[in-house]
Structure formats: structure tokens, C-alpha cells
């Protein structure tokens, strides 16, 4: 796979992380577990372990539920944004490691994608709720589907 494609995928997995902070690492962990991503020669090989896949998946399920609660803080606040920075970086680095490209550059692109996805996702969600005059819950479910489907589409490219 060429460098530009790998780097675009690292940024794209970061975008997914911006939508749902735990979905990107869960998807990446399952892709590594299922051997879609080859991490055996990387220090990120732990992402392919059953423990990583199950922990990230459980955290993603909790996030799907908590996101729908009325008192959930905005993803743009410090805690949510920090999670997206850290986990977007991890996901982007893992994607690049699987393609034998720069892990550091993958992490930076994952971080950039995570931040961009957080703000773009917030804007799209709030605007769709207003434009379609539907409950936030409906658009949140749509956002969940985009994050899961988009994440698996990205890792399936390997």
C-alpha cells in the first residue's frame, strides 16, 4: 500500500475516533485480532490481543449508552477531547504500524483526525438535529452507525 493511502487511512481512523472515542481503538483491535492488520513486529502488537479487543469493545458499548444520556458532557470539553487525542493517536499509529510506515506520523495524523472529527461531528450532529427536527437520540444512533461502519471500512483496506 502506498504511503499517501496509509497516511489518509491513519487520519480517517482519527476522524472516526472523533465521533466515538472508543470505537476506533475497538475496531483497530478487532482488525488486528482477526489478522487484517499485521502488528507482529511492532510494539503495538498488544492491540491484537483478546484482552485489548474485549476491553475496547466494552468501553465502546458503554460510550454508546452514555452518549445518549442528557447529562453527558460535550465531546469538545477537556475530558472528551483528551480521550480523542490519545485514542486517535493510538489508532492512527496502529494503522501505520500495520503498513510498516512511520508510527509517529500515524499518531500525529490520528490525533489531527480525532480533533477534527470531534468538532466536525459535533457540528454535524447539532445541525442535523435542528434541520431535520428530530430528537438528538436519532442522530446519535446514526452517528454510532457511521463510526462503526466507517471504522470497519477503513481497517478493511489492509
The confidence score (pLDDT) of residue 144 equals 98
C-alpha cell at 24: 476506533
Does the structure show a pLDDT above 90 at 41?
no
The confidence score (pLDDT) of residue 134 equals 97
Contacts of 55 (CB under 8 A, 6+ apart): none
* Alpha carbon distance 130, 52 (integer Å): 38
Greatest alpha-carbon span in the chain: 50
The confidence score (pLDDT) of residue 109 equals 98
The structural domain count of the chain equals 1
The confidence score (pLDDT) of residue 99 equals 96
How remote is the C-alpha of 155 from its chain's centroid?
11
For residue 65, what are the domain limits?
Answer: 3-155
CB-based contact 17:113 (threshold 8 Å): yes
Please tell me whether residue 81 adopts helix, strand or coil conformation. Answer: helix
- Residue-averaged pLDDT of the chain: 97
pLDDT in tens, 60-118: 999 999 999 999 999 999 999 999 999 999 999 999 999 999 999 999 999 999 999 99
* Alpha carbon distance 10, 84 (integer Å): 14
Q: At what angle do helices 23-33 and 136-155 cross, to 10 degrees?
A: 30
Amino acid at each position: 500500500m502506498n504511503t499517501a493511502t496509509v497516511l489518509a487511512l491513519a487520519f480517517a481512523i482519527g476522524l472516526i475516533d472523533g465521533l466515538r472515542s472508543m470505537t476506533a481503538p475497538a475496531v483497530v483491535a478487532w482488525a488486528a485480532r482477526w489478522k487484517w492488520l499485521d502488528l507482529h513486529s511492532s510494539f503495538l502488537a498488544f492491540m491484537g490481543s483478546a484482552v485489548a479487543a474485549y476491553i475496547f469493545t466494552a468501553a465502546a458499548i458503554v460510550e454508546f449508552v452514555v452518549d445518549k444520556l442528557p447529562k453527558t458532557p460535550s465531546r469538545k470539553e477537556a475530558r472528551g477531547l483528551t480521550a480523542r487525542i490519545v485514542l486517535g493517536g493510538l489508532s492512527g499509529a496502529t494503522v501505520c504500524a500495520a503498513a510498516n510506515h512511520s508510527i509517529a506520523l500515524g499518531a500525529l495524523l490520528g490525533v489531527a483526525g480525532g480533533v477534527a472529527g470531534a468538532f466536525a461531528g459535533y457540528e454535524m450532529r447539532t445541525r442535523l438535529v435542528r434541520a431535520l427536527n428530530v430528537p438528538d437520540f436519532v442522530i446519535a444512533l446514526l452517528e454510532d452507525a457511521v463510526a462503526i461502519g466507517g471504522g470497519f471500512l477503513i481497517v478493511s483496506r489492509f
